[in-house]
Structure formats: C-alpha cells, structure tokens
C-alpha cells in the first residue's frame, strides 16, 4: 500500500479531513492513548510511579499548566522534557511563520495576510514534535524582548511603522506557540517579567513598546522552582502563582534500591575499555547510604538539598580509583573497595552546603557519613555473632594491613591465613576472583571496626586493623 502523501497547502490539508485542536486537547488525547496501551511516558524516571507521575497525568488530563516544586537533582527538567512524548509526531504550520500558526486558524498578521492573498494555495510545512518544545533558565539578565519580543530595527528600517505588528521580532514564548514552554527556576524571573508572562497567559495579549497586540497563543506552560524560593521568600507574584493549575512536588528517592537504580542508569560510561569493572552490591549500597544519611544530617543545608548527583559522582569516583589501581598494578578487573571511599571527599564536598563553615568540618562530616553508611550496610549483611571466631584471632595478636593500592592477590593470602574469613566472604562475594575477594575482605574488616570490635589506624598510606 502506497504511503499517503502529506498535505502541501491549505487546500490539501482541508481535503485530508484535518481538524485543528488545542495543544492541551492534543496532549490529553495522547496521554489517554498511552495509558490504554500501557506505554511508559516517562522512561528513566525512578521512584515517582505513585507520587509525581499521577500528579502530572492529572494535570494533563485537566489541561492545567504545571509548576514542579523540588530541590536540585530531583529530575524536574527531565520530566518536563519527557512531556514532548505527549505531542503528535508532527503538526501542520503555515510556511514561513515565526510562531507556528495553524493553517486553518492563523493568529499573526503575517499569516492572516498571506492566507487572505493566497487562500487554499497557501503552502504549509510539517513541524516535528521536537521543535515544539522551548526551555529557558530564569536568570537576572533575561529581558521582555527575550521572552515575548521587541521591535526589530531592521524591519523598521525597511519602511514599517513602529506600531505595525509586522515590525515585531518575536521572543521565545511566541515562537513556542502550539508547543510546550518551560521556565526553569521561575522565582529568579524579575517581577516585571512575571507580570508580562501572566498577561500573556491570562489575557492572551502582549505589549511591546507601548503597543498592544492581541496574540491568542496556544501553549502548555511548565515551570520549576525550589520550594524555599517559591513559598517563603515571596519571589513569585501572586497572580502568576495562582495561574498555574497544578503543583507537582518532586522528592529524592525514597529508598536505597531506587537510588542505586538511578546511579547505575546515570553514571558516565565509556566505550570499549581494556579494564573490566565490577562494583559489588554492598559498595553501591554504601554510596547510596552516604547520600541518604546526608539528607538527614543537621550539619548540611537541607534547603539546597543533597541531590542524586552526589551518589552518581561518588559512584563514578570509586570506580575510577579502582580502575586506576587495576591499571597501575596490571590487574584485569577493577573492583571498588572500602579504601577507595576516602576519594569521594572531593565529589561529595563539591555538591553539599554546610550549615556554617569551618575549614576542617567538611572532611569530618563526610568521614562520619561514610562510617555510618558502612555500619548500616554491614549490619544488613552480617551478624557479628557469626564472626566471633574471626575476631578472636585478632585478639590473639593478629593484625592486617590494607591500602587502596595493595594487589588483590595479597588479600587472597590474608584470607587463607585467617580462619573463617573465606567462609564469611561468601556472604557478599561468592567468587574466586582475587579482586572481589579483596573488596569483600576490606568490607568485613571495616564492618568489624565500625561495630567497635577491631581497632583501625592509618600509617604511611596504609590502614592497619588490629585488636
């Protein structure tokens, strides 16, 4: 069967049976279809199935503009960009139109004049869904011209009057007509711009240099904001705040499992590498636990948040240090260990804000988070009563030295010397690969230390465990 040719002008478009629909009707219809087909509209969004996503779906069903409230790193921008999936694959627009006018209901002067002159012969283009999305980060230097438009001096120089609508150069919002427009960090938008935005949303007109132009734009408006800015500081004008029909409150992953899923999905991965890497589940748990503990710490500014990016960056850091070790020692497998954890100081410190500042406080705080994370994870995997025979050997004078640059085979020898250690390692690493044994051995030693059954000291870059 031959593929049906797309309409090339208004006459052919009418003959095809095309009927104009608003963007909110279009998105509502496509959402209902997606739900019926059980299509995943928000791929890669973890932990929001029973909280944020239903709120977004209800807003789209109701035709309500949305504002996402949440701290940094809560996937607000990702959800906004995913809304593109609710648009048709392409829509007809009048050829040459700056604001994507519907061929059957043109709103700008250029298109109205052209349709009046050319009628059904007016040529049309087909606009793909990706080009119907606009996004702007609110910053102090944004002007009305950027968002709404301004008089184009070149068009005026060509002979048009200042009051002529055709002398206007349209801004970002009109150019996203019949699409989705998103404003990130809405509270940072100056009040006069918020007034202009409200006027455009509510009254459907714009004023440029004192001239009022009726412009009934058709769009779905989405914004994001930090709750502190949105609710407490009064940085959004009340009429604009009231204009948003739905408020979706985002949040950080509710459990360790979701945090780990996001870490695995988002960490930076490279192409074919000579060094194979493997991260044991307990090391992933420790990284995720550090972040979760940080979100509860009174010493960290919770208004700025402890985002998932902390987990992702820390995860990448321990893998990188394990890879560096493998390359240095000529090992083929990179497996992160407990002794790699001090290297996350840099990737954690760059992403948290302390309540007050002391030069040495940050390192101590991160140290405490790591210690508590290891304690929690270790106690989920082990019972100390099952390790008494192993701990007793240290009481008899045995000690162990480890380091992040110690060869994996050295740990195999240690495991054979300590009675019961190999058996204990099978709880978290049922493997004969030396690199996995090395990582698991350090986990057991550190777990006994944080449970106050072994002492630990550092000397010349090495960590020593003893009774």
Structure confidence at residue 233 as a pLDDT band (50, 70, 90): low
Q: Is residue 295 part of a domain?
A: yes
pLDDT at 447 over 90: yes
Mean pLDDT of 412-425: 91
Lowest mean pLDDT among 20-24, 182-186, 187-191: 187-191
Tell me, what's the pLDDT at 351?
Answer: 85
**180 and 89 in one domain?**
yes
Q: Residue 62: which of 247, 284, 245, 301 has the closest Cα?
A: 245
Structure confidence at residue 110 as a pLDDT band (50, 70, 90): confident
Q: Residue 122: which of 7, 224, 230 has the closest Cα?
A: 7
Alpha helices per DSSP H over 246-360: 256-266, 281-294, 308-329, 344-349
Residues 305-318: pLDDT tens digits?
899 999 999 999 99
Cα separations (Å) of 157 from 97, 146, 154, 161, 418? 21, 21, 5, 9, 88
Assign residue 202 the CATH number of its domain: 3.40.50.300
Of the ranges 148-152, 205-209, 260-264, 361-365, which is most confident? Answer: 260-264
**446 and 367 in one domain?**
yes
Query: And the tokens for 127?
Result: 């606009």
**275 and 191 in one domain?**
no
Enter the DSSP assignment of 231.
I
Tell me, what's the pLDDT at 230?
Answer: 65
Pairing of strands 276-277, 333-334: parallel
Q: Is residue 202 part of a domain?
A: yes
pLDDT at 359 over 80: no
Q: Is residue 338 part of a domain?
A: yes
139-172 in b/e burial notation, b at 16+ Cβ within 10 A?
eeebebeebbbbbeeebeeeebeeeebebbbbbb
Task: Let me know how long the chain is.
Answer: 467
**274 and 235 in one domain?**
no
pLDDT at 2 over 50: no
Question: Are 215 and 206 within 8 A, CB to CB?
Answer: yes
**233 and 353 in one domain?**
no
Answer with the one of 228, 249, 270 that is the final residue of a domain: 249
**422 and 397 in one domain?**
yes
pLDDT at 367 over 70: yes
Mean pLDDT of 96-108: 91
Residues 82-96: pLDDT tens digits?
999 999 999 999 999
Answer with the one of 222, 249, 276 that is the final residue of a domain: 249
Q: Is residue 115 part of a domain?
A: yes
Structure confidence at residue 159 as a pLDDT band (50, 70, 90): low
Top-confidence residue, 315 or 235: 315
Q: Is residue 5 part of a domain?
A: no
Answer with the one of 249, 266, 299 that is the final residue of a domain: 249
Enter the DSSP assignment of 229.
I
Q: Is residue 67 part of a domain?
A: yes
Mean pLDDT of 206-234: 72
**302 and 382 in one domain?**
yes
Percent of the chain having pLDDT more than 70?
90
Percent of the chain having pLDDT more than 90?
61
Q: Residue 262: which of 45, 83, 82 has the closest Cα?
A: 45
Structure confidence at residue 213 as a pLDDT band (50, 70, 90): low
Residues 6-19: pLDDT tens digits?
899 999 999 999 99
Coil vs helix vs strand at 11: helix
**111 and 222 in one domain?**
yes
**240 and 320 in one domain?**
no
**170 and 276 in one domain?**
no
Helix 23-36 crosses helix 52-62 at what angle (to 10 degrees)?
Answer: 130
Pairing of strands 400-402, 455-459: unpaired
Domain boundaries, position 197: 10-249
């Amino acid at each position: 069967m031959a593929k049906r040719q797309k309409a090339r002008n208004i006459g052919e478009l009418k003959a095809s049976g095309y009927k104009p629909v608003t963007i909110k009707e279009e998105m509502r219809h496509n959402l209902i279809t997606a739900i019926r087909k059980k299509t995943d509209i928000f791929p890669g969004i973890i932990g929001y199935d029973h909280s944020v996503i239903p709120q977004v779906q209800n807003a789209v069903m109701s035709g309500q503009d949305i504002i996402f409230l949440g701290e940094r790193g809560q996937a607000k921008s990702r959800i906004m960009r995913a809304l593109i999936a609710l648009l048709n694959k392409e829509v007809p627009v009048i050829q040459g139109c700056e604001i994507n006018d519907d061929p059957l209901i043109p709103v700008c002067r250029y298109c109205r004049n052209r349709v009046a002159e050319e009628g059904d012969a007016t040529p049309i283009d087909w606009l793909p869904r990706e080009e119907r999305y606009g996004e702007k980060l609110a910053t102090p230097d944004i002007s009305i011209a950027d968002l709404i438009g301004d008089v184009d001096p070149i068009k005026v120089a060509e002979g048009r009057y200042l009051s002529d609508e055709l002398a206007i150069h349209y801004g970002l919002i009109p150019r996203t007509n019949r699409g989705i427009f998103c404003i990130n960090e809405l509270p940072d938008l100056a009040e006069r711009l918020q007034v202009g935005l409200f006027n455009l949303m509510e009254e459907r007109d714009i004023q440029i240099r004192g001239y009022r132009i009726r412009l009934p734009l058709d769009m779905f408006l989405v914004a994001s904001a930090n709750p502190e800015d949105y609710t407490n500081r009064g940085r959004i004008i009340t009429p604009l705040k009231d204009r948003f029909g739905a408020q979706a409150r985002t949040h950080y992953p509710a459990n360790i499992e979701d945090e780990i899923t996001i870490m695995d999905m988002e960490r930076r991965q490279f192409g074919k590498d000579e060094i194979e890497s493997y991260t044991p589940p307990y090391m992933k748990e420790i990284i995720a636990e550090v972040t979760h503990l940080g979100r509860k710490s009174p010493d960290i500014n919770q208004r700025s948040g402890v985002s998932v990016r902390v987990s992702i960056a820390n995860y990448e850091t321990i893998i990188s240090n394990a890879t560096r070790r493998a390359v240095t020692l000529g090992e083929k497998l990179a497996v992160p260990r407990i002794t790699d954890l001090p290297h996350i100081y840099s990737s954690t410190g760059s992403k948290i804000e302390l309540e007050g500042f002391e030069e040495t406080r940050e390192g101590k705080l991160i140290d405490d988070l790591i210690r508590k994370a290891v304690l929690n994870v270790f106690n989920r995997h082990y019972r100390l009563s099952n390790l008494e025979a192993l701990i007793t050997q240290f009481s008899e004078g045995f000690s162990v030295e480890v380091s992040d640059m110690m060869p994996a085979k050295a740990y195999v020898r240690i495991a054979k010397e300590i009675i019961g250690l190999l058996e204990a390692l099978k709880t978290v690493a049922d493997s004969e690969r030396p690199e996995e044994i090395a990582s698991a051995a350090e986990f057991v030693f550190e777990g006994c230390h944080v449970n106050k059954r072994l002492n630990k000291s550092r000397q010349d870059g090495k960590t020593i465990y003893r009774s």
